Amino acid sequence: MSDNKQPSNWQKSIEGEWHGMPSLFEASGTHVGYNKVSRASEFADGRTTYWMQTRFDATGPLNDRFELGSPFKFGVIDSDQDRIYTGPDFIGSGRPYGLLVDSNYYSPGWNVNLRTMNHVVPDLGIQVYSSQLFEADTLVGVFNGLYIVTKDHETNPKTQKRVEQFLEHERRDGKRPFNLPVKHAGRFTGTFEVYNDKQELIGHNEVTIHHKPINLLHSEQTIEIKGVVNARWTAMRTRNGNHHQYHGPDMFGNGMSYGRYLYSVRHVFGQAYKLWSRETQVDEDYTLVCAWQFMQSQKEQYTTFGVLRWEEGDLVLGAQYVE
């Protein structure tokens, strides 16, 4: 291989060994277990090799399906346009956008097609990972969870202890359900990077979500976006278990949550425009790590991502009394 070949920007951003304890969910959203993972994408001698050690601890048929009893090791054609996975474990490709990659590939051993999204968040020191698992267009399960990276795990006892503590935290929080603030009004604010359909960074969006509970299962939200996208949309949101809906007047759609992760599709009323989103609650302060993709006329327009932080406002659903 050529000594002049250099790793892509995405490859540089994920150097090191990543450690996580992703949760495994049935298609219904039922949490059935965990998968302890160590993985790395390594560039050497002009080639990129991805390896992954997994150990499932789950119940039901999905455990037997996904526990192959063998480590993963597969080739990658690395670039900042497409990362192409050349098997034998995974066949397909990933599409990088800065510190996020959106991948679609097939696992012969698992017999699932995966939509995997990995988002490195340096400010939080984590990678936010998820895989939606399909047979054709039918969802059969979901993996999701947070990862941290190390450079000296094999030799440093302090690093090993930090990883052990992180994995225990993930085991505790992996099945925690996605909930918005149910009694307090307030707002979520943050800055998102914006990439066009050619994967070029073209600017930023300032995002504000004004949130007001109506009752314990309904809320009114207004999304305000300023920057590359300029928009203001209001919708009533409802939640029944892990099923979410958006009832207009400006956006209509639905979503399902799998633990801390909510996947949604929202259609803008009267326009050929929709928003696909993955929103992840990464702590108990309602901090959201978001990936939002805007679709115009069923085609990719913008891929955006960032962190939204919660600012608590008035208590609107306080204790009730009958005098």
- Token digits for 94? 């990933």
CA angle 248, 272, 307 (to 5 degrees): 65
Q: What is the C-alpha separation between 22 and 143, in angstroms, rounded?
A: 6
Q: Are residues 128 and 22 in the same domain?
A: yes
- Give dist(CA 13, CA 78) in Å, integer: 13
pLDDT at 1: 43
Is residue 3 included in any domain, yes or no?
no
- pLDDT confidence of residue 154: 86
54 within a domain of the structure (yes/no):
yes
Let me know whether 210 and 275 are in one domain: yes
Helix, coil or strand: residue 303: strand
| Residue 179 is assigned to a structural domain of this protein | no
- Give the residue from 60, 256, 284, 244 showing the smallest Cα distance to 142: 256
Contacts of 237 (CB under 8 A, 6+ apart): 180, 218, 219, 220, 221, 244, 245, 246, 247
Question: pTM to 2 decimals?
Answer: 0.95
- How far apart CA 111 and CA 155 sit, in angstroms, is 36
The residue out of 128, 145, 173 marking a domain boundary is 173
Residues 118 and 234 in one domain: no
Residue 242 backbone dihedrals phi, psi, to 5 degrees? -100, 15
- Distance between CA atoms of 154 and 87, rounded to whole angstroms? 27
CA 293/CA 304 separation, integer angstroms: 6
* 42 plus 121 within the same structural domain: yes
Give which of 308, 311, 256 is closest to 282, Cα–Cα: 308
The CATH number of the domain where 66 resides is what? 2.40.128.20
Q: Does residue 130 belong to any structural domain of this protein? A: yes
In a domain? residue 246: yes
Separation of alpha carbons 21 and 39, rounded Å = 11
Asked which of 173, 197, 219 is the last residue of a domain, the reply is 173
Residues 199 and 144 in one domain: no
For residue 287, being part of any structural domain is answered with yes
Structural domain boundaries enclosing 248: 184-313
Domain boundary among 123, 152, 173: 173
| Residue 283: partners with Cβ closer than 8 Å, 6 or more residues away | none
User: For residue 39, how many other CB atoms are within 10 A of its CB?
Assistant: 18
Whether 319 is covered by a domain: the verdict is: no
Mean pLDDT of residues grouped by 10 in the chain (323 residues)? Answer: 76 95 97 96 93 94 91 95 96 98 97 98 97 97 97 92 97 95 98 98 98 97 98 98 98 98 98 98 97 98 98 97 93
Short-list 30, 55, 37, CA closest to 142:
30
In a domain? residue 92: yes
98 DSSP 8-state letter = T
Q: What is the DSSP string of 144-157?
A: EEEEEEES-TTT-H
Q: 107 with 23, same domain?
A: yes
How many structural domains does the chain have?
A: 2
CA-to-CA dists, residue 210 to 50, 130, 186, 225, 255, angstroms = 41, 27, 6, 11, 19
- Residue 177 gets which letter from DSSP? P
Contact 303, 293 (CB under 8 A): yes
Give pLDDT, residue 3: 56
Same domain, 155 and 202: no
Asked whether the beta carbons of 19 and 152 are under 8 A apart, the reply is no
Alpha-carbon radius of gyration of the chain: 20
Instruction: Let me know whether 191 and 304 are in one domain.
Output: yes
